[in-house]
Amino acid sequence: MAYILPPLPYAYEALEPYIDSQTMHLHHDKHHQTYVNNANAALESLSAEIQAFSPSTLIQNLDKVPADKLTAIRNNAGGHVNHTLFWELLKIGTELKGELKAAIEKDFGSVETFKEKFATAAATRFGSGWAWLVLQNGKLAVVSTANQDSPLMGEKYAGVSGTPVLALDVWEHAYYLKYQNRRADYINAFWNVVNWDKVAELYATAKK
């Protein structure tokens, strides 16, 4: 079954002034759609078993993908999975609290230390990629990946592993219209649009 672009779960301007409407239109309607289109094109010649995988299951089973299609699947199914999660992680007005906040304080020492580590991972990712908060072996950790790799792909492909609970896209297309080359400003603005309720939900699910 062909993958489809999920609708944005809010209005394009819902994240203003931190992420602008024009960027959201371009990022969701053009960039994410292209990942979906390219993933579907790469899947056309693959086995029925692989075609039946959900996007997240597919990127967790890259060893089953033929070598000549691996890069296309890794990049484009990875981009589809990463962006589908990213849209859900954005919302103005939520609060870090409860079990998630306690876990962050336990595993990082403080919320501020966590934010510093996450911001550093995002700022120092050379070129394009992502910063992540993941659950690894029952503990929260900050990691980063290149391009459209995901921790779900595991060490072999992404160089890291874990279940994502928070993600930040640091490809230039995610911020360049508003922030130009000021990635650090975009990262700082991100904390105003984190959907902590969704992060808490993902954390609770990952712990099960």
121 and 29: one domain? no
CATH code (residue 143): 3.55.40.20
pLDDT over 80 at 12, yes or no: yes
pLDDT over 80 at 76, yes or no: yes
Question: How many domains does the chain fold into?
Answer: 2
pLDDT over 80 at 55, yes or no: yes
User: Considering only CA atoms, which of 72, 80, 70 is closest in space to residue 31?
Assistant: 80
| Contacts with 108 (C-beta within 8 Å, 6 or more apart), sequence order | 114, 117, 140
82 and 157: one domain? no
What average pLDDT does the segment 122-145 reach? 97
42 and 124: one domain? no
What average pLDDT does the segment 168-173 reach? 98
pLDDT confidence bin for 208, thresholds 50/70/90? confident
73 and 124: one domain? no
79 and 136: one domain? no
15-29 pLDDT, tens digit each: 999 999 999 999 999
Please indicate, yes or no, if residue 116 is contained in any of the structural domains.
Answer: yes
How far, rounded to the nearest angstrom, does the alpha carbon of residue 164 sit from its chain's CA centroid?
8
Please indicate, yes or no, if residue 15 is contained in any of the structural domains.
Answer: no
Q: Residue 178 is which amino acid?
A: K
CATH code (residue 52): 1.10.287.990
Mean pLDDT of the residues in the chain: 97
